[in-house]
Amino acid sequence: MIKSEPSRRTFLARVVVALNALVAMVMATPAVGYLLSPLLKRRSNQWVAIGKASKFVAGIPQRMTFEYDDEAGYSVERTRRVAFVGHSENELIVLSPVCTHMGCNVAFNGTTSLFECPCHGGKYDMSGRVVDGPPPEPLRRFQTRVRDGNLEIQIT
């Protein structure tokens, strides 16, 4: 069997095709990265103002509703959430109302001064610590800061 060698013309044509493919890959990489970057981007930890800091005085935790734009990939969705603003050891704290057992929303009972979960009887003190029932962890505590007199919480 006689094996024919590629001609010089065939060899050069293959080199040109290979170089074209390389150039196309180099040019396409930034474009693909640009198109996919919103999908790969982590959600920003945005700060959301939930009210004037001066109105949150010590006492019964206040249930606050707030809204923000939740960005995920290419979509931006207006989201409404709830938080409890209270005090613990003279410090302003903001707690999530979501029970850490199975995700029901807790309510504050002014008589017992406890956050109580209606689903399985979980109870938390005013600092969010578990005092009774099945919840495995304290209520989630938002990071807070005061900017221009507004109490802001960090959404992660």
Q: Would you tell me which residues interact with ligand FES (CB under 6 A)?
A: 99, 101-102, 104, 117, 119-120, 122, 133-135
Closest of 87, 97, 92, 91 to residue 63, by C-alpha: 97
- For residue 103, the minimal CB distance to ligand FES (Å) is 6
**The two structure tokens encoding residue 30:** 């930034």
Cβ closest to ligand FES, residue 92 vs residue 119: 119
Cβ closest to ligand FES, residue 85 vs residue 117: 117
How buried is residue 8: exposed, middle or buried, by Cβ count under 10 Å (0-12/13-18/19+)? exposed
- Paired sense of beta strands 91-95 and 107-109, if any: unpaired
- For residue 108, the minimal CB distance to ligand FES (Å) is 14
Q: Say which residue the tokens 């065939």 belong to.
A: 10
- For residue 133, the minimal CB distance to ligand FES (Å) is 5
- For residue 125, the minimal CB distance to ligand FES (Å) is 15
Cβ closest to ligand FES, residue 73 vs residue 118: 118
Cβ closest to ligand FES, residue 30 vs residue 136: 136
By the 8 A CB rule, do 76 and 67 touch?
Answer: no
Residues of the chain by 3-state class (helix, strand, coil), percent to 5: 25, 40, 40
